[in-house]
Amino acid sequence: KQEVTQIPAALSVPEGENLVLNCSFTDSAIYNLQWFRQDPGKGLTSLLLIQSSQREQTSGRLNASLDKSSGRSTLYIAASQPGDSATYLCAVRENSGYSTLTFGKGTMLLVSP
Amino acid sequence: NAGVTQTPKFRVLKTGQSMTLLCAQDMNHEYMYWYRQDPGMGLRLIHYSVGEGTTAKGEVPDGYNVSRLKKQNFLLGLESAAPSQTSVYFCASSSRTGNLYGYTFGSGTRLTVV
């Protein structure tokens, strides 16, 4: 059974810092990996989607990398801002007959002014 | 705006009552899903559907039923609500391949069973 782990569970940084969130998964046979953002009391917003054949994806100040063979992904946030404060979730879609996602429990990020 | 719409957004039920949560998507996605999110447990799949008229069980299906009579709608039913079903419920959809946009989630339904 696929398991997804996110480290750290919580992170607090001052504004302007660059930071890295980590995601690991136990079964490397994935179809793709998706990073989401969730604000308190809100739904999930997709940030980046990386296909299994890709190494990284970038969107603005966000960069996500994927090392499928080692079962790891990182989300890099450059020049963090208070508005980046949220919970970040990593999810993998496996190579199976149906496309469900397995989620990590998330990293709660707080960026202080 | 295109996306996934969930109704209602909030609901309080008494133990034993029934209710239906509605999910609607306008992206012509084939796949639809119902997840629940609980503190410390993360998101867990309840049921999913790979097309109109088809449904299947996910990780935590007990106490729930689903129906997908139309491609754009996916209903989640609780026949006899229990306090253990207090949770935030999210609906999501994706295309068959999901290779362009991945999953799209609704804004959630916060359900409290007393």
Tens digit of each residue's pLDDT (9 = 90 or more) over A58-88: 999 999 999 999 999 999 999 999 999 999 9
Flag if A32 and B40 touch (Cβ within 8 Å): no
User: So what's the pLDDT on residue A96?
Assistant: 54
In A, minimum Cα distance to B88 occurs at A41
State the DSSP code for B41.
Answer: T
Decide: A34 and A91 in contact? Cβ < 8 Å: yes
Decide: A104 and A22 in contact? Cβ < 8 Å: no
Query: Residue B59 is encoded by which pair of tokens?
Result: 């990780």
The whole-angstrom distance between residue B52's C-alpha and the CA centroid of its chain comes to 15
Task: Indicate the average pLDDT of chain B.
Answer: 92
Flag if A99 and B94 touch (Cβ within 8 Å): yes
Q: What is the mean pLDDT of residues B101-113?
A: 90
Residue B98: its chain A contacts at CB < 8 A? 31-32, 93, 99
Separation CA B48–CA B82 (nearest Å): 21
In this structure, the strands spanning B87-94 and A10-14 are: unpaired
Query: Residue B2 is encoded by which pair of tokens?
Result: 């295109």
Residue A78 Cα, gap to closest chain B Cα (Å): 23
Residue B78 Cα, gap to closest chain A Cα (Å): 21
Separation CA A49–CA B94 (nearest Å): 13
Flag if B56 and A31 touch (Cβ within 8 Å): no
- HSE-CB for A94 with a 13 A CA cutoff: 17
Flag if A89 and B43 touch (Cβ within 8 Å): yes
Tens digit of each residue's pLDDT (9 = 90 or more) over B47-103: 999 899 999 999 999 999 999 999 999 999 999 999 999 999 999 998 876 555 678
Task: Give the residues across from B12 on adjacent strands.
Answer: B112
Q: Measuring CA to CA, which residue among B112, B86, B110, B81 is closest to residue B8? A: B110
